[in-house]
Amino acid sequence: MIKLKIVAVLGLSILMSCSTESVKDIRNPIMVQLEFVKGKGILFGHQDDLAYGKNWSYVDGESDVKRVAGDYPAMFGWELGGIELQHTNNLDSIHFQVIKDLVIKGYQMGGINTFSWHPFSVTNGENSWNTETDVVKHMLPNGSHHKEFLAQLDRLADFFQSLKADDGKLVPFIFRPWHEMDGAWFWWGTKNCTSDEFKELFRFSIEYLKNKKGLTQMLVAYSPDRNFTTLDEYLTWYPGDDVIDIIGMDNYYDLKVPGGVELAIKKLHIVIACAKEKQKLSALTETGLENVTDSLWYTQKLGKVVSDSLISKELSYVMVWRNDPKVHFFFPYENHPAAANAKSFLDTPEMLLLNDFNKQKNK
Ligand code: BMA
């Protein structure tokens, strides 16, 4: 009897350890980390952070966030527009080899990498902001330029598969294609395709990258802009639970206009409710105030949004846009009038920079 019990307990524990192992094996490490850290703080991210800042470019170890707040962001955003044409540099002139090196570096420091992609049109070579002609329907299976689109995805996949850490492991990442589709400024926006065409484009892209190209290290974010007031509206372009992991929103406008903070909070509540219902994670995937023209923006606008009781408990990350010396910046540089305020915002317990994130992960 005792023997039987021992065998049963042993069997059960082997079974349990096997099943936890296999569950662990198929789970993306980013998902595991974000779930673990949820409620303990919101990760702060910055586009192109390690590549250049307002007064420097390509200096190893530099970061405008670090210069102002004393630590790197926990999340690093990158842009891949141009990879589909085998360009040497992305559309913001960063060499793809630099992006690759810095993605790996960011990952090895413990951060999370996320990619946007503003590809050039397969039909006429115009950039993503050219809405003069319809592109999406021509990219879909049976469309006139589907083959060309497959070639674009192949090149994108090659780049993703080249992201390997020193230990040879593929770098996990979040891919956030076809964002702000609820606006009319991209050729995948409301002016240039139907929501059904959009969903097909999104689904096709992800299924191809995952099933044909084997990108199992990828998570995918859905991020409309702020043009919705209900859950139904928010889901108009939602391509399906099987292709989406992160439920997000981009929002610059509401955090700029008077009274907009409340609207931004309401919309994030919709995003969070949606994520909860679908058992996914939520994020403010892009925000910022161009050239930080309000020196209190970080505590009075973004700070008010993230300190909302539901948002601080549920939201996984917030990312601000890039600091391009020639175009615009969204995080203050050293000695900028908003620098002290941005630091106070990042010093609050709800915001996690890289060290905070690494500490939380290891708790
Ligand atoms: C926009 C601007 C552009 C840039 C694009 C892609 O918001 O920053 O200058 O080319 O993002 O990164």
Q: Is the pTM of this model over 0.75?
A: yes
- Position 118 in a domain: yes
- Position 38 in a domain: yes
Does ligand 1 lie within 6 Å of residue 336's CB atom? no
pLDDT the model gives residue 19 = 44
Supply 98's token pair. Answer: 């630099």
Mean pLDDT, range 140-150, rounded to an integer: 98
Domain boundaries, position 248: 30-361
pLDDT the model gives residue 11 = 44
- Position 307 in a domain: yes
Q: Which atom of ligand 1 is nearest to 91's Cα?
A: 10
Question: Is pLDDT at 12 greater than 70 in this prediction?
Answer: no
Q: What average pLDDT does the structure give for the chain?
A: 94
Query: Each residue of 239-290: pLDDT tens digit?
Result: 999 999 999 999 999 999 999 999 999 999 999 999 999 999 999 999 999 9
* Cβ(188)–Cβ(123) below 8 Å: no
- Position 301 in a domain: yes
CATH number at residue 296: 3.20.20.80
Query: What's the distance, Cα to Cα, between the start and end of the chain in Å?
Result: 41
Decide which of 17 and 267 is more confident. Answer: 267
- Position 13 in a domain: no
| pLDDT band at 362; cut points 50, 70, 90 | confident
Does ligand 1 lie within 6 Å of residue 118's CB atom? yes
Indicate the SS3 state at residue 125.
coil
Indicate the SS3 state at residue 45.
strand
- Position 9 in a domain: no
- Position 226 in a domain: yes
pLDDT the model gives residue 20 = 44
* Cβ(255)–Cβ(292) below 8 Å: no
Q: Give the type of residue at 340.
A: A
Does ligand 1 lie within 6 Å of residue 32's CB atom? no
Per the structure, the count of domains in the chain is 1
Nearest CA to ligand 1 atom 9: 327
